[in-house]
């Protein structure tokens, strides 16, 4: 009988480490917490929240770390991002990267969109290829126009740090084309539905 107890204890000791090393939730499971603002698969249905479907995983992680470390302006994302580990952020990033962006129709000014396309090709296309489609510089094409307006105001007013060479390009387009340049770009990106 004592022999059987020792075997049972040994078996229990072998199983316990597996329980203590339980896997964290999958990226998809963690991504469900984002659905209320960013849509169930990362395609936002609300005009003040960006779509994140198809987002480059490195961009997603960098953005979330920026929120987590209070380097990026936000109303609520700073608090939300603090809850996730780097591993969890990477899992979520890969889930969203695999999702197909579904854009919603929105009203835009066709004349401004034509001007915006020309400005995009001249000033923005080097980083935001394919008309601003999802890539390693984020997603602009089909993004909600109110979100783009809020984001650009944050950049221009210094509430959000510019990535890479963006400040130089934004300053150049405003200097060359005036204050209508940014709205024209926003209407161009919003026109891609």
178: left (phi over 0), alpha (psi -120 to 50) or beta: left
Full-model pTM: 0.82
Lowest mean pLDDT among 33-37, 49-53, 103-107, 163-167: 163-167
Mean pLDDT for the stretch of residues 120-144: 92
Residue 32 has pLDDT above 80, yes or no: yes
Q: Write the CA distances from 107 to 62, 84, 104, 143, integer angstroms.
A: 31, 36, 10, 12
Give the pLDDT score at 74.
Answer: 85
CA 142, CA 105: separation in Å to the nearest integer?
A: 8
How many CA atoms lie less than 13 Å away from 169 in the CB half-sphere? 19
Give the pLDDT score at 63.
Answer: 92
**pLDDT, tens digit, for every residue of 57-68?**
999 999 999 999
Domains of the chain: 27-97 (1.10.760.10), 110-191 (1.10.760.10)
How many CA atoms lie less than 13 Å away from 37 in the CB half-sphere? 12
């Amino acid at each position: 009988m004592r022999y059987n107890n020792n075997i049972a204890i040994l078996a229990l000791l072998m199983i316990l480490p597996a329980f203590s090393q339980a896997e964290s939730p999958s990226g998809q499971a963690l991504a469900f917490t984002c659905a209320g603002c960013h849509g169930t698969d990362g395609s936002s249905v609300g005009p003040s929240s960006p779509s994140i479907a198809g987002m480059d995983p490195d961009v997603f992680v960098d953005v979330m770390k920026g929120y987590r470390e209070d380097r990026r302006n936000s109303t609520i994302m700073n608090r939300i991002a603090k809850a996730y580990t780097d591993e969890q952020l990477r899992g979520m990033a890969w889930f969203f990267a695999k999702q197909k962006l579904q854009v919603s129709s929105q009203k835009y000014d066709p004349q401004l969109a034509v001007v915006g396309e020309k400005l995009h090709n001249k000033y923005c296309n080097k980083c935001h290829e394919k008309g601003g489609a999802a890539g390693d510089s984020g997603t602009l094409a089909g993004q909600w126009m109110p979100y783009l307006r809020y984001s650009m105001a944050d950049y221009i007013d210094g509430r959000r740090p510019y990535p890479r060479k963006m400040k130089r390009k934004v300053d150049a387009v405003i200097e060359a084309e005036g204050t209508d340049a940014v709205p024209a770009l926003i209407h161009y990106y919003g026109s891609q539905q």
